[in-house]
Structure 1
Amino acid sequence: MTDQTTVSGARDIFIVSNSVDEMGGVTTWTHQMAREFTGRGHTVHVIGVTPAPADRRHEFPDPLPYATTTLYEEHPPQLKALRGLKGKLNAVERRRYAARSAAMQERADRMTALFRAARPGAVVIVTQVWAMEWVGLADTSGLLVIGMSHESYDASAGSSRLPRVKRHYKDVDRLLVLTPEDANKWIRAGMDNVGHMPNALPFVPERPVARSGKVVASVGRLSHEKGVDMLLDSWAEISSRHPDWKLRIYGAGDEEQALLARTTELGLDGSVEWMGRTNDVLGALSEASVFAQASRAEGFPITLLEAMAAGVPCAAFDCAPGVREIIRDGEDGLLARLGNVMELGGHISALISDKELRDRMGEAAFKNVKRYAPEEITDRWEALFAFLER
């Protein structure tokens, strides 16, 4: 939290997400910015649509210095689209749709009541397009509404989210994406209210870690999107050349068992350490000398920011504009072409083999990543609020 406080310009700020407490980058961003805004004297209220699944729930300190609300006690039912005449004549499904719509409006009305109690100049920040479906049903008249997409344009275009973003965010005061490159793509796709805002550093250590351990670290969900299977394929080429080094993987997810089996299949059980989830990323990085990320898709990955803030040089796939915004290839990290496991493995191996290289890149990372310091990013947010009020 920043020490700076600007109470004279204090606002009510609502941050609305799919969930208040589901593990992941959006939740990390939400609570970090809630703390930063609170530290500036703003009154923050974090709103989630549904509770997180029990196995993906992030534990937060109690009490938090801001209010939180979850609109549903359990996840609302997911219904199939009513297609064609047969769908429209299906009375059972129509009743289910009507019940779900009524429940959505009831939850939106709860948000309306919170919004109506806000002071003039209040802001609603919607971090995910699914949550915007509820905000769109609420009365936000007189409030600034800022929508966000925390993924790359290409990731949205490869899913159902692109048409949903265009539909649900078309009338917000600003749609914020993560990089100028992605903003230009959304503008070309027909959105005329687009800006860009990077994520902030979750922490700013006073000094880099020692980079003395023979550990390559990776932090993230064990899911297809995060590409841990490709990281294992890269490590299979590395481990025989560097048998005294370990690949230490932090995270959990639905691909865990498949990845454990793949580790055994590749003969890597002795060189890969599965650490499970961690709420202490800086502590995890303190024993690492290299950070590796093999994601198939990213937005503006907080794990890369964390590694660089700790002074750990990164090797990653160039899978999104946000990655190449964060890493200056050849200066403070190394980028490989997406999916090229041999190239990624070569980059990791180069950092393992050359202490001078990893120290130089680690020191450059520690310095360069400070352009995303929390106070800098919070200043940009407050400047945006003031601009949109004009």
Structure 2
Amino acid sequence: MRALARKGKSAMVRLYRGYNRRKVRKAPPPSTDKVRILILHAYGMGGTIRTVFNLASYLAKHHDVEIVSILKEAEEPFFPIDPRVKFRFLDDRLHPSPDPVRAMLSKMPSKLIPAEESAYHRFNLWTDLKLARYIRSLDTGILISTRPGLNLAMAQLALPSLITIGQEHVALRTQPEAVQELIKWRYRRFDALATLTKADLRDYRAALPKKPKRLIRIPNAVPPMTGDVAKLDAKVVIAVGRLTRLKGFHRLIVAWEEVAKTHPDWTLRIFGAGPQEENLRQQVIDAGLEGKVELPGATTDVGAELEKASVFVLSSRHEGFPMTILEAMAKGLAIVSFNSPHGPKEMITDEVDGLLVKPRTNANLATSLLRVIEDEHLRRHLAAGALETARTYDVDAIGAQWDALFEELLARRNGTYVRPTPPAPAPAQIEPAPADPAQAPPPA
């Protein structure tokens, strides 16, 4: 029976590959004119969504760009959008159709997304069907996917004529083992895999037995923000993020108890929404920090709120590439952050443009916050360094890296790619041999 099953599976694979070859023969030539970006929930709130909008806006200057969202669960986007960018939603959960097939499939668990994927519960058989149909409908252009489940689906389903780019916003090491195993064998099918950090790039190089055609690190760019740089005269420390345990705001509130003892005139503002909101509010009350710790909720204008602060703090357990740090740097705030190797450690140079704190150490976090609060010279020094660092993440500088990647992938498809010649090593400087006293001419 097992041998029969293996033969059946092998026959299905051959049929599938044959179908792909026929589709590719009829496909238009490779092109970068159209760019499609797959995302889970375009109208939601989160760093990935904000960075996708930012990238789409840059690419829309020279490409036909569409953001393809698996879900639609809000009437309007949380973040502002560029009118040049199109949107498509595969599963409109606000206005579901009365289709009985949809109703039936929506109650059944996904078979396309691995159960260990963190967003698995958001998918079902209906989204599987819609996603598979969409990916299979593309025969040219570029498709970029932005999370492991969608990357794995794209690797399985995309036609060979489509240029595929997997983009990872979360570190490989934080993925469940089952997801990592799938990544090892499917990601090799991509034209390119783009990571946000050098540390994650190293991890993928070490982990993938066979590599995509291109493994590259392209960080996120600073998004457009309202207002000017902070004046650093407000006695406000700000934190921004989804209110989950992963973001460590419960640790930040514990650390703030120490800060409030000596600096009751300073305020901690934590912007965001999420499942931990009520727990955090109760923690503030229990610690007697009412009026000293504020939870104003989510904000659509991060720039305006950063401008009103002097210090930005990040208390996450781990991060991929936290956009909030980049935004705070661009606003000229002093940064205090737990030291995560796949994000803050690469973005922050300790004592130059921020302070790095040993992870999960509430006392150390409190000590670093007290340093920047009490030492105005240090605060302004870190803020000036942060502004300089932010300039290296300018949208045009980062966008140029995407332009270069597109050009390279198209050249690879067209057979015109020429591997860059590494620079020749500098000629060795040969020191003259010391004179042999025995052969020296006799003195005059």
Does TM-score exceed 0.5, indicating one fold? yes
Q: Which has the larger radius of gyration?
A: 2
* Residues 1:276 and 2:300 aligned together: no
Question: Is residue 316 of structure 2 the alignment partner of residue 286 of structure 1?
Answer: no
Match of 1:184 among 199, 202, 217: 202
Match of 1:15, as an amino acid? I
Partner of residue 127, structure 1: 146
Residue 110 of structure 1 and its aligned partner are, at CA, apart by: 3.0
Q: How many residues matched? A: 355
Aligned to 1:146: 165
Separation in 2 of the partners of 1:336 and 1:60? 31
2:260 is aligned with 1:260: no
Aligned to 1:274, what secondary structure does the other structure show? strand
The alpha-carbon distance between structure 1 residues 317 and 222, as it changes in their structure 2 partners (threshold 3 A), is same
Correspondences of 1:39-58 after superposition (within 5 Å): 39=61, 41-52=62-73, 54=74, 58=77
Displacement of 1:136 in angstroms is 4.0
Where does 1:141-220 land on structure 2 (aligned, <5 Å)? 141-156=160-175, 158=176, 160-191=178-209, 192-193=211-212, 194-203=215-224, 208-220=229-241
Write the distance in 1 (CA, Å) between the matches of 2:54 and 2:160.
27
Mapped pair 1:65 → 2:87: no
Work out the CA distance in 2 between the residues paired with 1:308 and 1:295. Answer: 17
Judged with a 3 Å threshold, the aligned counterparts in structure 2 of structure 1 residues 77 and 18 are, in CA distance, closer, same or farther, namely farther
8 Å CA contact 2:135–2:154 kept in 1: the answer is yes
SS at match of 1:71: strand
Q: Which of 300, 311, 326 in structure 2 is aligned with 1:305?
A: 326
Whole-Å separation in 1 of the counterparts to 2:34 and 2:372 = 46
Per the alignment, in what secondary structure is the counterpart of residue 309 of structure 2? Answer: coil
Closer/same/farther in 2, CA of residues 62 and 16 from structure 1, 3 Å limit = closer
TM-score norm. by structure 1 comes to: 0.84
1:180 partner amino acid = K
1:19 aligns with 2:37: no
CA distance change for structure 1 residues 246 and 15 in 2, over 3 Å: closer, same or farther?
Answer: same
Residue in structure 2 matching 1:79, options 98, 109, 125: 109
Deviation at 1:375, TM superposition (A): 0.4
Look up the match of 2:96.
none
* Paired residues of 1:290 and 1:312 also in contact (CA < 8 A): yes
Greater shift, 277-286 or 103-112, is seen at 103-112
Distance 2:308 2:326 in 1: 17
Work out the percentage of aligned pairs sharing the same amino acid: 29
Which SS does the other structure have where 1:50 is aligned? strand
The Cα of 1:108 is off from its aligned counterpart by: 2.0
How far the C-alpha of 1:28 sits from its partner, in A, is 0.5
Task: Give secondary structure in 2 for the equivalent of 1:18.
Answer: strand
SS in structure 1 at match of 2:60:
helix
Deviation at 1:23, TM superposition (A): 1.0
> Paired residue for 2:132, among 108, 112, 115?
108
1:326 touches 1:369 (CA, 8 Å); kept in 2?
no
Q: Go from structure 1 to structure 2 and tell me whether the alpha carbon gap of 1:339 and 1:58 turns closer, same or farther (over 3 Å shift).
A: farther
1:183 positional shift: 1.1
* 1:129, distance to aligned residue in structure 2 (A): 1.7
Inter-partner Cα distance in structure 2 for 1:245 and 1:29: 31
Moved more, 14-23 or 70-79: 70-79
Between the two structures, name the one with larger relative contact order (CA 8 Å, sep ≥ 6): 1
1:109 Cα deviation after fit: 1.9
- Note the residue ranges of structure 1 that are not aligned, 5 or more in a row: 1-8, 82-99
Out of 321, 344, 349, the position equivalent to 1:328 is: 349
> Matched residues in 1 for 2:225 and 2:70: separation?
31
SS in 2 for 1:372: coil
Provide the rounded CA distance (Å) in 2 between the counterparts of 1:372 and 1:78: 43
Q: Which amino acid aligns with 1:289?
A: S
More divergent stretch after superposition (196-205 vs 295-304): 196-205
Flag the 1:321–1:138 CA change in 2: closer, same or farther, 3 A: closer
Residues in 1 aligned to 2:409 and 2:110: alpha-carbon distance in whole angstroms: 38
SS of residue in 1 equivalent to 2:92: coil
TM-score (norm: length of structure 2): 0.75
Are the structure 2 counterparts of residues 73 and 133 from structure 1 closer, same or farther at C-alpha, using a change threshold of 3 Å? Answer: farther
Aligned-partner Cα distance in 2 for 1:145–1:364: 37
Alpha-carbon displacement from aligned partner over 1:256-306 (angstroms, at most 9, x marks no partner): 011111111111112101111101111001110100110012100000000
Residue 22 of structure 1 aligns with an amino acid whose one-letter code is G
Give 2:59's match in structure 1, choosing from 15, 37, 55: 37
The alpha-carbon deviation at position 197 of structure 1 amounts to 1.4
Instruction: For residue 41 of structure 2, give the secondary structure of its aligned residue in structure 1.
Output: coil
Q: Is the 8 A contact 1:129 1:169 kept in 2?
A: no
Contact 1:213–1:288 (Cα < 8 Å) also in 2: yes
Give 3-state SS (helix, strand or coil) of 1:385's partner: helix
Structure 1 contact 293–315 (Cα < 8 Å) conserved: yes
| Residues 165, 25 of structure 1: alpha-carbon distance in 2 compared, 3 angstrom cutoff | farther
Whichever residue aligns with residue 109 of structure 2, its letter is L
Q: Deviations over 1:145-187 (max 9, x none)?
A: 010110123322x565423433442311112111122111122
Given that 1:49 and 1:131 are in contact with CA atoms closer than 8 Å, whether structure 2 keeps it comes out as no
Q: 2-side partners of 1:101 and 1:69: how far apart?
A: 19
CA distance in 2, matches of 1:48, 1:205: 26
CA gap of 1:102–1:359, structure 2 versus 1, over 3 A, is closer
Question: Counterpart of 1:95?
Answer: none
1:63, 1:35 → 2: CA distance? Answer: 6
* Secondary structure at 1:169 match in 2: helix
Moved more, 243-252 or 71-80: 71-80
Give the drift of 1:101: 5.3
Aligned twin of 2:264: 243
The AA in structure 2 aligned to 1:104 is D
Q: 1:340-389: CA deviations, max 9, x gaps?
A: 11111111111110111111110110112211110011000111111222
What are the equivalent positions in structure 2 for 1:349-360 lying under 5 Å apart? 349-360=370-381
Identify if the C-alpha distance between structure 1 residues 78 and 338 changes in structure 2 by more than 3 Å, giving closer, same or farther.
Answer: farther
